[in-house]
Amino acid sequence: MSQEYAIQGLSCASCAHAVEVALQAVAGVQSAHVNLATEKVVVEADAEVCPLVMQAAVQAAGYNLVLPLVTQNFAVSGLSCASCAANLEAAVGRLAGLASAVVNFATQVLTVTYPLGAIDVEQISQAVEATGYHAQLLTDQASASQAQIQQEADQAAQAKASHQAALWRRFWLSAIFALPLLCLAMAEMVGLTLPTWLSHRGGGQLFVGLQLALTLPILWLGRSFFLNGFKHLVKGHPNMDSLVALGTSAAVAYSLYSSIQVWLGNHHAAMSLYYESAGVILTLVTLGKYFEARSKGQTSAAIQALIKLAPQEAQVLREGQEVTLPLDQVQVGDLVRVRPGQKIPVDGRVVEGQSWVDESMLTGESLPVAKKVGDQVVGASLNQQGSLIVETNKVGQDTTLAQIIHLVQAAQGSKAPIAQLADRVSAVFVPVVMTLALVAGLAWYLIGGQSWAFALTISIAVLVIACPCALGLATPTAIMVGTGKGAEQGILIKSGTALEMAHQVDAVVLDKTGTLTQGQPQVTDVLPLTGWTPDQLLALAAAAEVNSEHPLGQAIVAGARERELALPEVT
């Protein structure tokens, strides 16, 4: 395996020789060649040789071997709020040797950067698992085929759709129980009268029992709040689910205590039930989770649109025969036939034919570009009239479209400066809210002179209304939607930082004439010489252009037909 590294501290040929000797002394290294001019070394070594060992050998010789940075993406499951993302970033960021760890809550992706060989995938996965989440390494975009990326994207989209459907089902099932529970608990408070046998006036046992019976299914449907919330609370990383779980658990526990009092004969305790608070809170938070999942699911639509710009198959000429192959089987040097109206599947050079090609997806230029033998064409551009045979010179991740997709993905995964502020707030949000809930309850009980039951309801209210998700979700979602929509319109945004800085722009200068047009040339004026009418001149010009494939010629013909002019025969 060959790998190139930068070397620091070289001053002469003797330095280069010393580095070569130091590296060749490492077990598993076959050869090392230092280029003094570029200050780089090319090392041939076995795959199991650790770069850190080579770095240590070079440092022992008095120089520094600079290890290249590796970036890897992991799909993370189990994130329920912005605090989860902040907790995970902090936990993974503590790994020795890691340069950076960034979690995008909107995409549920962990991006880690580290020097080559400094850490392995298993260590990162274990650190994620220890925090209470699960990480799966995503396909390397630089080496994956378009088909692999598409397959991975389809699987992710299917998983998101399934998650959304599950949340929606959980919401409406919870609502079936929450609505009658709310009506039963609140009817008399809003002026409605319940039958005596059903209300607290009739002894209260049935009144209490029905509320408990309606609450239990909601608790079961929303059990993930309690499982996740208390799990992360025990691990010392409380999140939004922890807030919901604490608040609703307190409400249910106090209501159970009051219910027991009613069943023991204390009918006044029927007025101290908070079952409907727990049920309605779980139902509404589930609805919020559904809307959140929808917003996250819609953010990847732009990437999907870009991936689908390129055709999935190509007509390849092999041994004199035309065969249809999947795009990931096309190789550099293959001859590909592109018929009129088809998208060009690969980057390459025209070796036969001539045509007009619409490259607006790349350049933004609305007018088609003439292509002849020897001209370069770009994958995903549209061949308009003529038939072309293209010799492939770029495939897969080397194509221009793949580079655009990679740029958009990098921009969507980047964090704007404002997002870093939101992350810092989210990291301490949940503990602060829990502290405030405790302080608020104690203040009403000790200073306000209220009952402990009233103080408990105050603490519950503070816990359940606090939700840091909007804080952590809004910025990454805005960046993803902004960069994605820009890419759909041919505007490539380099990063979240660049997008945030765009609000400071005072003027935009465009250097191409055809950019701000409808993308379709048309006749606007006809200026004939003396003795000719505009219609006569337009009819003659259109007659000459009627068989032309030139976009301006077609515009002249279209202008004559709009005026319903009779075109003379051209001989």
Q: Which residues are catalytic?
A: 511
Phi and psi based region of residue 379 (left: phi greater than 0; alpha: psi -120 to 50; beta: remaining): beta
Phi and psi based region of residue 380 (left: phi greater than 0; alpha: psi -120 to 50; beta: remaining): left
Q: Residue 494: helix, strand or coil by DSSP?
A: coil
What is the chain's Cα-based Rg? 34
Tokens 């088609």 identify what position?
368
DSSP-derived letter for residue 519 is: S
Per-residue three-class SS string for 338-393: ECCCCECCCEEEEEECCEEEECHHHHCCCCCEEECCCCEECCCCEECCCCEEEEEE
* Residue pair 377/357 in contact by the 8 Å Cβ criterion: yes
d(CA 306, CA 401): 8
Q: How far is CA 237 from CA 69, 72, 565, in A?
A: 30, 25, 77
Nearest to 76 by CA among 99, 101, 113, 104: 104
d(CA 89, CA 508): 37
Query: What one-character-per-residue DSSP string does 377-434 give?
Result: E-TTPEE-SS-EEEEEEE-GGGSHHHHHHHHHHHHHHS--HHHHHHHHHHHHHHHHHH
d(CA 249, CA 526): 80
**Residue 250: what residue type?**
A
In 10 A of CB 179, how many CB atoms?
14
Tokens 């550099």 identify what position?
332
